[in-house]
Structure 1
């Protein structure tokens, strides 16, 4: 059995290290502080007995667990990221451990009246009687994706300590900067050497995903003219009003708070505004490639229309693709999803096969030649103060990793 105390201790040791990434940086990793945890992980991989442990100049970590069988087995990999999102602070994380959760409100921070309530977050009731790790209400937790790292290292340690579980060669990889869309950009797929892999980066227990959004980012720059407001008639052009016109011209119901399942969206996530210049930052998402292309066309046509209205270029737009739907690369090798599904069922976990409303390193890795579905890591409410993870879900994810390794070796001789 995997120890609840050990997995809790390991997870907390990771989340208390600040690894927030920075989209404005052009280095890899994007923040120096990501090296702090990266170096800890390298030392820990060596300590538990992994082979060929390496970290490159960009903080990409790889390690190998050698095969313990004589027959040929496909080489499989498990991948997670150690950065946390810049959407909410990950500094000074102070985890709280809630034993035997009673299904009621959890006071995260009494002084600021911050409550984690099942009245709002209904998924909490799935974990009544279990041990939850929460924030203190002032930071995110970092279960995305330090839970995944915890589970992968714990699984490797368990397999090393239990050689009676037969497996082939297993590769593990940990990446920086996934939260800013760059986690796989410098991942050396050839060096990794796996036939396929799994990201351990999902949410609720049972999640198994091989479809994700097609994704792009758009930077919209609106130019105005600043003059003294007392003498502005016919002269001032307030960029914030034009930006508001742009915002209101996009479909209001096609935003994250109004969409689900396979529905795509436009998401305005940042505004910097003054009279002379306003900058809007959007992300564009859709599972369907044709719809994805249409969304990019919509935002470009809107830009052109407003420029025509003002008879000059008041708006410039830069759209950059970020990642694509991995379904295209995974469907031809669906047996890798089938193995993960079988592993879950063998552990009495109900597989929840559904599209990712986001992306993982696996989406990019799949297009780099490493098919890579995504498996649950157990956390909920990522990227904010209400994030939590059940310890029992982390234990189950660890067991799934071990079972996938075992089934892959077994099926190689069937």
Structure 2
């Protein structure tokens, strides 16, 4: 265990800065308040001696821990985490609470006592009895996703800069905005980043490494009905909202949805609906671990739409598919050392390494296809995007240890 890391103090400070991103915004970053944390991070990086730390106009932070080894062939590593928090639950006014030496009893969050973290609902808590658990107060998310990763990278950077005995190659730090709205790598300057391999620090249970993600598409359906005055509508009106409702009602109730799938099962998920009787817009996310599975689900949704429209002969619809990200495993399988070195670093930290698949995506999904093979290491985050979000101090400290060991492994194996 590394001593005197600043991870907990950093984390408690970062989560109190509101960095919620906005999926409806067209700016980069989607919310200016994400830069509030960015400015803090740049200042702190300068304070620990990383002189080139900077934030660009889009809210991305780049910084370098220079190599301190005589070896010249050590690959340049990127350590990446995202600064924004989910739009699903407010991140304004976060009040982090530390439950020291948690004894296994229910954690009732004081600002809303209906919000209760129960061992029965969170099986990963079985490994946390006696540890120090950090939660929010019940009315906001905590922001462990991904400020735990941000704090861990910062603490690891501080440790490596101040402990020259730890040999490593050049380390590039990348903090991104807008990961939660699918735009975390949109404005990354890959040439400026200049890394060979990378790791996002954005995972869940300690000891885990995720090297496979969903492949993901978005579908936007625009329904054009037939509008007329409701007082004279008989035989004429074809209500676009009702057409959209019929489409949603036609989706399967027992499969193909997030609430009915697990493991490697994909889904069709309606995420947004708006409109009026003249026009309605329905937006979906499609998820599967293979591109073939994505296309099958998109064809199924198209067929459902066509069937619904047969009852509305004068109405029409457009069906637009937009690629979001692809399964990082397609890239990582060509660079086995990226996963092997991470598993070794976890093992050296006296943990049992576990490879997992993510039912979701990370910045690493896109970075992998942008030329930076980039699996996802644990950060200790749990109950993402909810008021019940939690993280343990001990898991964050262990993540810092793994990051430092990881940088050493790459140096040793060069």
- For residue 317 of structure 1, report the CA deviation from its aligned partner: 2.8
Write out per-residue CA displacement over residues 249-271 of structure 1, whole angstroms, 9 at most, x where no aligned residue: 23331111111111101112233
- Shift in alpha-carbon separation, 1:65–1:110, aligned structure 2, 3 A: closer
Distance in 2, Cα, partners of 1:313 & 1:352? 52
Distance in 2 between residues matched to 1:6 and 1:19, nearest whole Å? 21
1:335 aligns with 2:337: yes
- Over residues 130-152 of structure 1, what are the superposed CA-to-partner deviations in whole Å (9 max), with x where a residue is unaligned? 01110111111111111111000
Corresponding residue of 1:219:
220
- Determine the structure 2 residue equivalent to 1:37: 37
Query: 1:322 aligns to what SS in structure 2?
Result: strand
Distance in 1 between residues matched to 2:103 and 2:242, nearest whole Å: 50
In 1, Cα distance between equivalents of 2:312 and 2:231: 23
Gaps of 5+ in 2: none
Unaligned ranges ≥5, structure 1: none
CA distance in 2, matches of 1:289, 1:45: 40
Distance in 1, Cα, partners of 2:6 & 2:347: 25
1:64 aligns with 2:85: no
**Alignment partner of 1:358 out of 357, 360, 366:** 360
The count of corresponding residues between Structure 1 and Structure 2 is 412
Classify the secondary structure of the residue corresponding to 2:91: coil
**Local SS of the residue matching 2:212:** coil
1:390 aligned partner: 392
Kept after mapping to 2: 8 A contact 1:64/1:172 = yes
> 1:275-354, aligned counterparts within 5 Å?
275-354=277-356
Shift of residue 303 of structure 1?
A: 2.6
Kept in 2: contact 1:4–1:391 (CA 8 A): no
Distance in 1 (alpha carbons) for counterparts of 2:112 and 2:286:
38
Residue 148, structure 1, aligned to residue 118, structure 2: no
1:23 aligns with 2:23: yes
119-128 vs 261-270, which moves further: 119-128
Is the contact between residue 200 and residue 375 of structure 2 (CA under 8 Å) also seen in structure 1? yes
Show the counterpart of 1:171.
172
CA 1:368–1:5: 2 relative to 1, 3 Å: closer
| Cross-structure match for 1:103 | 104
Q: Tell me if the contact between 2:111 and 2:139 (Cα under 8 Å) persists in the aligned partners.
A: no
For the aligned residue pairs, the C-alpha RMSD in angstroms reads 1.8
Between the aligned partners of 1:282 and 1:178, the Cα distance in structure 2 is 18
3-state DSSP class of the match of 1:354? strand
- Note the 1:119-134 alignment, pairs <5 A: 119-134=120-135
The answer to which of 264-273 and 64-73 deviates more is 264-273
Q: CA deviation at 1:221?
A: 2.8
Normalised TM-score (structure 2): 0.95
Match of 1:92 in 2: 93
Are positions 1:242 and 2:229 aligned together? no
CA displacement, residues 277-313 of structure 1 (integer Å, 9 cap, x when unaligned): 4332211100011111111222223333333442234
State the Cα distance separating 1:57 from its structure 2 match. Answer: 1.3
Deviation, 1:115, is 1.2
Residue deviations 1:147-188 (CA, integer Å, cap 9, x gap):
111000100101112111111111110011111111011111
Per-residue deviation at 1:53? 1.4
How far off is 1:84 after superposition? 0.9
- For 1:407, the equivalent position in structure 2 comes to 409
CA-CA distance at 1:75 after TM superposition = 1.1
Please give the TM-score of this superposition, normalised by the length of structure 1: 0.95
Q: Which residue of 2 aligns with 1:9?
A: 9
Task: Describe the shift of the 1:110–1:30 C-alpha distance in structure 2 as closer, same or farther (beyond 3 A).
Answer: closer
Compute the displacement of 1:225 (Å): 4.6
Which is worse superposed, 300-309 or 98-107? 300-309
In structure 2, what is the equivalent of residue 377 of structure 1? 379
Q: 1: CA distance between counterparts of 2:252 and 2:384?
A: 26
Deviations 1:59-91 (A, max 9, x none): 111111111111121111101110111111111
Report the Cα offset of residue 110 of structure 1.
5.6
